[in-house]
Amino acid sequence: MAYKRFTENDGRGRQKSAGDRRDGSVRERSGAPRSPRTDRGGKAYAYGDDRPRREKSPKSPSPAPALPEEKEPDELPFLIFGRNAVKEAVKAGRSIDKILVQSEPDGSLREIVALAKEAKIIVHEVNRRKLDEVCLPFGHGDKTANHQGIAAYTAGVEYCEIADILSLAAERGEKPFVVVLDGVEDPHNLGSIIRSADCAGAHGVILGKHRSAPVTAAAVKASAGASEHMRIARVVNISAALEELKAAGLWIAGADMAGESMYRQDMTGAFALVIGNEGDGLSRLVKERCDYLVSIPMQGHVDSLNAGVAAGILLFEKRRQEQGKV
């Protein structure tokens, strides 16, 4: 979705002339009193009399120049690239405008092209330079993104509501299992977490609209297509989302180095795991709304893990505990 930013007129008046005092008083002149002024017709009038003055029409403030419309990074048009990502989008029935594939596709690309044609999706064979140009904005520095010879133009990701995630768990007859992201900003971490959540059997992922990475082309690529099968909700307030999950009966565990070891915490049943920002971790308000904090026992010289890696470990520890109770 594209957004416009608007600015308001600052409302400041004209600057004072050099002859005005800073306190607003008028400088007095010494000497003889001044003679009355005359108008252009020669008629004299005294200062302060009731001579009518021409009213100046109020000057309307000039409108602020419109700023160019801003787009969220790589969402309009939304591009999916990479073999797994495009394949899963086609299999999931995603609305795809067209697919660009390199000339003379190899085995796995031919399989994707066959699936696309079966789904009545337009496929264009292009040279690799064209794909490099299309995917260049999503790469690093001056290098194009690793498109693996295929890219698809499609509608942006369809976010859902928290209620949709909970209803999916009810349809499957399972206790809700949700991942909540509190300020994860790297799209590659986001994609990795979505992939791990799907593999661990989570019903959905919740992320914030502010201070968080949206599901962009880079995130879809990093998820290896798992984003096509995962229900993803995007909310204004993470703290309020946690309260909604608590009301639905979920226990909220925040990933934090100061928490209890994951081996000593009960992570079974209706459960939500909260992953914090890559640098700052959980925000204060979110941490206060967690029922408890959970940590990963560490050895070695480094005392922290990448957000995507930490999420994967905790998600599969939750799955291990569930299987141990069967």
Looking at the predicted structure, is the pLDDT value of residue 61 above 60?
no
Torsion of CA 286, 289, 294, 300, to 10 degrees: 30
H helix runs in the chain, sequence order: 83-91, 107-118, 128-135, 162-172, 187-200, 217-222, 238-247, 284-289, 307-324
Query: Percent of the chain having pLDDT more than 70?
Result: 75
Q: Check if 78-154 and 162-297+305-324 are the same fold.
A: no
**Quick one: pLDDT at residue 238?**
96
**Quick one: pLDDT at residue 51?**
41
What is 88-106 written as a DSSP string? HHHHTT--EEEEEEESS--
Residues 14-34 have a mean pLDDT of 44
Instruction: Give 35's pLDDT tier (boundaries 50, 70, 90).
Output: very low
Top pLDDT among 38 and 278 is at: 278
**Quick one: pLDDT at residue 326?**
53
Is pTM, for the whole model, over 0.75?
no
Name the residue ranges covered by the structural domains of the chain.
Answer: 78-154, 162-297+305-324
Rounded distance between C-alpha atoms, residue 231 and residue 62, angstroms:
47
Top pLDDT among 121 and 21 is at: 121
Rounded distance between C-alpha atoms, residue 326 and residue 320, angstroms:
10
162-297+305-324 homologous superfamily: SPOUT methyltransferase, trefoil knot domain (3.40.1280.10)
pLDDT digits (tens, 9 = 90+) for 176-212: 999 999 999 998 999 999 999 999 999 999 999 888 8
Torsion of CA 20, 25, 27, 30, to 10 degrees: 170
pLDDT digits (tens, 9 = 90+) for 103-158: 888 888 999 999 999 998 989 999 988 998 888 877 777 788 889 999 998 876 78
Residues 81-86 have a mean pLDDT of 90
**Quick one: pLDDT at residue 300?**
81
Residues 15-24 have a mean pLDDT of 44
CATH architecture entry for 78-154: 2-Layer Sandwich (3.30)
Q: Could you tell me if 86 and 99 are in contact, meaning their C-beta atoms sit under 8 angstroms apart? A: yes
Sign of CA dihedral 14, 19, 22, 23: negative
pLDDT digits (tens, 9 = 90+) for 253-298: 999 999 999 999 999 999 999 999 998 899 999 999 999 999 999 8
